[in-house]
Structure 1
């Protein structure tokens, strides 16, 4: 089956509810940082499959571990007949997550069901009905995780009414009109407005937040935001929940985004890269949160032997191959090169990020900051034509997201910059076929 045949079959029989497409690629194979399509064309992948392939594609250590585990024990339902991989994985996760309190671990399949766990168990554990989260946040597609989200992708649906959403501190687009005291304005709004009206502290169980809003546009808050949010939670007996599904496990140049702020959350939500490509998610948190009920949030294949074995090996690879350091060093180099592009192309309004979680926001005008939506899609499409895979995100669909495998090299960054440079040049010279671009709506 060639690419055209596969895309036709996909269009005919695969649900559109399962799709978000940016260009007509199909995938036959992948290795390291490269993806190969059905015409044997090779692409450098800056998406890591929505930040799943942190350790790269097809790592032999993970492949060997999966074969070994499948031959020894292909499956047991950990709900009723546990084996040791899940326990060892829980021990490992507890060891790398801060917090001087007794912790437990819950396992699932995806970031969505992990945040669903938070939506259920945090209010139950606190005996408080309400939760706070942030505009622009993306926490999943199930009812509870969707309710916690503040992203346009979920705006077509009505979630649970117990969640109040507040502004996220965006230095490039400050909602209160000024970058000055950005954190203070948000904290004051929560304390003086939200807490005194629709979500009083005695009814508020937890605050769910991303250390970097990923699908919201790679928004990096001010350095003092997470420490001040943690203090707010402590002052009002509210749990702080960090969603690290996309930016956790080394991507930002630390194990977790909140490590940059030296904050110890009450619970941490993990997913995407944890299994090295195998489906697995986790919540690591206070014992009283995760023991709030028995058999109240369980799935037959949770923590299964294959996914748990892959996750253990993935964590070892991240540590032993120093991928966190590589994310920090290569991420800094990547950001520097992108800033040089910004100096040459007025459409690039902002370059931001930490480590290898980088966002490039495109605007029609630097003063008004009007989102350059179609232009962003065009740059991503043209990059694909030139052998580079990037997606776009953001509540306005105008932020190029750069989240490559953490194994990416300086030479691969240089190639990426050369392709993006050409794509921006082609955009300026109107050499991109916009009709082709319009066939792929992305977000």
Structure 2
């Protein structure tokens, strides 16, 4: 079956509610940082399936672990039984995720399917433990596609999904185009709003991404996460760091919060944790994750196959090479993109307003002109479409930011090639190579 034919069958068979499409990508296999279409065309993958394939496609250690587990799987769940890989994975996570020195009592690990249920369970646990119903979340945040997690996701709420009735949204501080109009005041003003909401003492938890991904690859300015930590301590609310997309080595540290030296009460993980298999986790106080018993039931949570994959991923991260590579290749990627943005002879460079991120989580903000800083969603969509035509997979977030999250195993040569393809795509889009009609079928966000 050809790539267009496969995509056509997809359109006729698979529900639209689970599609986020920017171009007609149809693939039949993958290896490392490469995706292969029917017919053999290879594409360099600078998304890693929204970071879920963080160790690349078909990593041999993960393949081996999954193959062994599926051949001898002891059941399919930790719901009404336990098994070695589930217990070992939880113990590995407890060892790898630091605990706050002031934490009183033991910690537990919730094992789930995706970041959505991990965040939902963490938020429900905070409400039960505190007797409070309020949640503070941030505009542009993404915490899941179901339940409370969806209701506190700024992106979903802005798109028309119902907000949780007890959520308060605050702006996520940005150095580029700060909501206050002044980068020097953006953190104090955001923290002022958070304090105002916390002062009512109805807030169970503050949930935040230590690098906001889908909201535009926003790097928290100095003092923001530290300020949240201090405020949560002052008002007796839990602090949840959602590292589903940016954790596990992606930012050049094992945990994204290490950049700011701030330890949360609860951390949620997913995507890369399963090496492409459905797996998530919430790590936090037993007071939050132990009660009420049997209040978060899904039949296949903690299944042995996903747990085995998760253990293989953690072992790779503990060895350190993927984390080191993320830091080194991230500097290379950011440096090459900054160099392009400063190249006056390139037709697209004037449309790059900002390049930002940490490690291998980089955002390229596309604007109508660098001086005006006005977002250009259409040019961004055309760039992503053109990149796919040229052989690169990268997706837009927040309309006008190209998110670059290649596998942590990406090589120096692959970074060079990826930037070559991406910058050519920006140039071509700026020159009108991609028509409005070409991108019209793909609604994206």
Q: TM range, normalised to the smaller chain?
A: over 0.9
Give how far 1:18 is off: 1.0
Q: Trace 1:61-100 onto structure 2 (pairs within 5 A).
A: 61-73=61-73, 75-99=75-99, 100=101
- 1:223 paired to 2:222: yes
Give how far 1:154 is off: 5.8
After superposing the two structures, state which structure 1 stretch, 288-297 or 41-50, moved more: 288-297
Residue aligning to 1:249? 248
Residue aligning to 2:213? 214
SS at match of 2:172: coil
- 1:434 paired to 2:436: yes
Give how far 1:141 is off: 0.9
Is the CA contact (8 Å cut-off) linking 1:119 and 1:148 kept in structure 2? Answer: no
- CA distance in 2 between counterparts of 1:65 and 1:355 reads 27
Q: Which runs of 4+ in 1 moved over 6 A?
A: none
Match 1:194 to one of 173, 197, 200: 197
- CA distance in 1 between counterparts of 2:222 and 2:32 reads 33
Residue aligning to 2:39? 39
Give how far 1:190 is off: 2.0
TM-score by length of 1: 0.96
For structure 1, the 5+ residue unaligned runs are none
Give how far 1:259 is off: 1.0
- 1:400 paired to 2:399: no
Residue aligning to 2:239? 240
- CA distance in 2 between counterparts of 1:291 and 1:154 reads 33
- 1:162 paired to 2:147: no
- CA distance in 1 between counterparts of 2:139 and 2:272 reads 24
SS at match of 2:49: helix
- CA distance in 2 between counterparts of 1:341 and 1:140 reads 34
- CA distance in 2 between counterparts of 1:157 and 1:188 reads 27
Give how far 1:306 is off: 0.6
Match 2:115 to one of 111, 116, 121: 111
Change in Cα spacing, 1:49 to 1:310, as seen in structure 2 (3 Å) is: same
- CA distance in 2 between counterparts of 1:7 and 1:435 reads 18
SS at match of 1:268: strand
Match 2:392 to one of 363, 388, 400: 388
Residue aligning to 2:279? 280
Residue aligning to 1:366? 370
Give how far 1:95 is off: 0.9
Residue aligning to 2:346? none
Give how far 1:181 is off: 3.3
Is the CA contact (8 Å cut-off) linking 1:347 and 1:366 kept in structure 2? Answer: yes
Change in Cα spacing, 1:153 to 1:389, as seen in structure 2 (3 Å) is: farther
- CA distance in 2 between counterparts of 1:401 and 1:439 reads 21
Give how far 1:379 is off: 0.7
SS at match of 1:51: coil
Residue aligning to 1:331? 330
Is the CA contact (8 Å cut-off) linking 1:275 and 1:311 kept in structure 2? Answer: yes
For structure 2, the 5+ residue unaligned runs are 344-348
Give how far 1:279 is off: 0.4
1:329-380 residue CA offsets vs partner (Å, 9 max, x unmatched): 1101100111011113110001000000000001113343211001001111
Give how far 1:292 is off: 2.7
Is the CA contact (8 Å cut-off) linking 2:395 and 2:402 kept in structure 1? Answer: yes
Corresponding pairs, count: 436
After superposing the two structures, state which structure 1 stretch, 276-285 or 433-442, moved more: 433-442
Is the CA contact (8 Å cut-off) linking 1:45 and 1:389 kept in structure 2? Answer: yes
- CA distance in 2 between counterparts of 1:67 and 1:409 reads 26
Is the CA contact (8 Å cut-off) linking 1:351 and 1:359 kept in structure 2? Answer: yes
After superposing the two structures, state which structure 1 stretch, 316-325 or 275-284, moved more: 316-325
SS at match of 2:175: coil
Give how far 1:69 is off: 1.3
Quote the RMSD (CA, aligned, Å): 1.3
Give how far 1:321 is off: 5.5
- CA distance in 1 between counterparts of 2:256 and 2:149 reads 20
- CA distance in 2 between counterparts of 1:404 and 1:233 reads 34
- CA distance in 1 between counterparts of 2:328 and 2:190 reads 32
SS at match of 2:357: strand
